[in-house]
A = this chain, B = another copy of it.
Amino acid sequence: VHRTAVKKVVLEGVLDANDALAQANREKFDEAGTYVINLMSSPGAGKTSLLEHTLERMRGRLRLGVLEGDVQTTLDADRLARFHVPLVQVNTDPGFGGECHLDANMVRSGLSELPLHEMDILVIENVGNLVCPAEFRVGEDARVMVYSVTEGEEKPLKYPLMFRSADLVVVNKVDLLEHLDFDLEQFLGHLDTVNPGVERILTSARTGQGVDEWCSWLERRRGPSH
């Protein structure tokens, strides 16, 4: 992850292996008819809270499952266990210092614990990190990014890769807007600079605002054809 020619060669090798494993995951998802979301954000942006709302509202509408990625602990999976959906936690700490992202191979390890054929949608909750997860495809159909308004307006410009690769940006914690100096229009302008016209939904995982719109998005994406 540095600047010399040698290191670049190594990383290209790693990426190729990752892409091959992502393709293998993709084939499993297609065979099972499961639509797969790679859910990414900074730490604490509200991915798990959004999932809690989602699992609550989608009960009886779509069969969801969750693969939780974290450096350590099963805290997030524990929060979701009460919804009785297929759920697996992948911890990345056996790697070097704790891996900062999920890669295709880690997701592959988790898949063996999930009944894909019984799931319409699998949500992969990635490790909280605004940079590295965007560099690794895991075989997903769509990338959804959760962004908290507490993080400031300028992050799309400073960390463009994840914003650019997102199919949907969920702008979360909008219940706090009145207590912040956050300029929403400026943020959305920066977002359009790096990913013009990308879909966006304003939500508050605390109050439930926007969660219906997000669930409708999921249903449209999943489509009737699966």
Contact = CB atoms under 8 A, between A and B. Distances in A.
A23 interface: no
A14 interface: yes
A3 interface: yes
A43 B133 CA distance: 14
Contacts of A75: 154, 157-158
Contact of A98 (B71, B127, B131, B150): B131
A72 B160 contact: yes
Residue of A44, A73, A76, A132 ringed by the most chain B CB atoms within 10 A: A44
Contact of A100 (B1, B14, B103): B1
A129 B100 contact: yes
A195 interface: no
A100 B127 CA distance: 14
Interface in A90-116: 94-101, 103, 105
Nearest to A127: B131
A136 to B, nearest CB: 9
B127 A95 contact: no
A150 B3 contact: no
A99 B1 contact: yes
Interface stretch (A31-39, A80-88, A173-181): A173-181
Contacts of A96: 1, 8, 11, 135
B129 A130 contact: yes
A160 B72 CA distance: 8
A14 to B, nearest CB: 7
B206 A155 contact: no
A209 interface: no
A180 to B, nearest CB: 8
A161 interface: yes
Contact of A176 (B42, B43, B130, B176): B176
18 contacts: A7-B14, A8-B96, A42-B43, A43-B155, A43-B159, A71-B131, A71-B158, A72-B158, A75-B158, A97-B134, A98-B160, A100-B129, A127-B131, A129-B129, A129-B130, A148-B150, A150-B176, A181-B206
